[in-house]
Amino acid sequence: MNAIFTLYAFPAKRKWRHALLLCALALVALLLHPVDALTIRFAPSSSASEPSGRNAPLFAASAPLGQEFATEYLHSVQLTPVQDIYRVVNGRIWSWQERVRSHNAGLPFARPPFGRFRADPPWMVFEGGRQSWEGIVLRVGDARFGRNVFSYGAEETRAALFERFPGQRLRLGVERRPLITLLPARRLPDHP
């Protein structure tokens, strides 16, 4: 019996090497593990000659189950603020809530199917509705029309998209990426 234990017993130095090797392998596996990431990129154009580097993410951050982000803008006709709240669930973007201050032209006015409406002055809030997408194309306005703002997570990462990307089309999407590519999370640049 002692011969069996002696056969599998390692000297102290070998034990530490094996433990360090196992820790290193576990760390590599963790860093290479794919996770959901919320990304913002320029939306593809119909032009065949796309400038190089235009498809690189402008923003990429880990998006755990239920991660919240928001877009805000001034409605083009009514010039009233609108806030759209989204959540990332199972690789999709789910419409969670929309807040408006009026029900005029082009703005929601009815409770969504499978959703609810509530007043929370000064907002009228539409919640639920079971709508989800793989990605959303956001048409960014400028300082006069649109005034689009993006915010992400509890730390309130806010970016005035209308200042950085006026007149551009941006695609917000969920991608599976190795965790290491999201460390540290990439933020929107200060200038386009």
pLDDT of residue 125: 87
pLDDT of residue 118: 86
User: Omega before 57 cis (within 30°)?
Assistant: no
38: CB partners within 8 A, 6+ apart: 59, 60, 61, 63, 67, 69, 88, 152, 172, 173, 174
* Sequence-ordered strand ranges (E) for 54-156: 59-62, 67-74, 81-89, 92-100, 115-120, 123-128, 132-133, 135-139, 149-152
Break the chain into its structural domains and give their ranges.
34-44+56-182
pLDDT of residue 191: 42
138 burial via Cβ count (<10 Å: 0-12, 13-18, 19+): buried
pTM of the model: 0.78
Positive or negative torsion for Cα 87, 151, 102, 169:
negative
Question: Can you give the pLDDT of all 192 residues of the chain as single tens digits?
Answer: 555 555 555 566 677 888 888 888 888 888 888 899 999 999 987 655 555 566 788 999 889 899 999 999 887 676 788 899 999 999 999 999 988 887 766 566 667 778 888 888 888 888 887 889 999 999 999 988 889 999 997 666 889 999 999 999 999 999 998 888 887 766 675 543
> Residue 188's CB: how many other CB atoms inside 10 A?
20
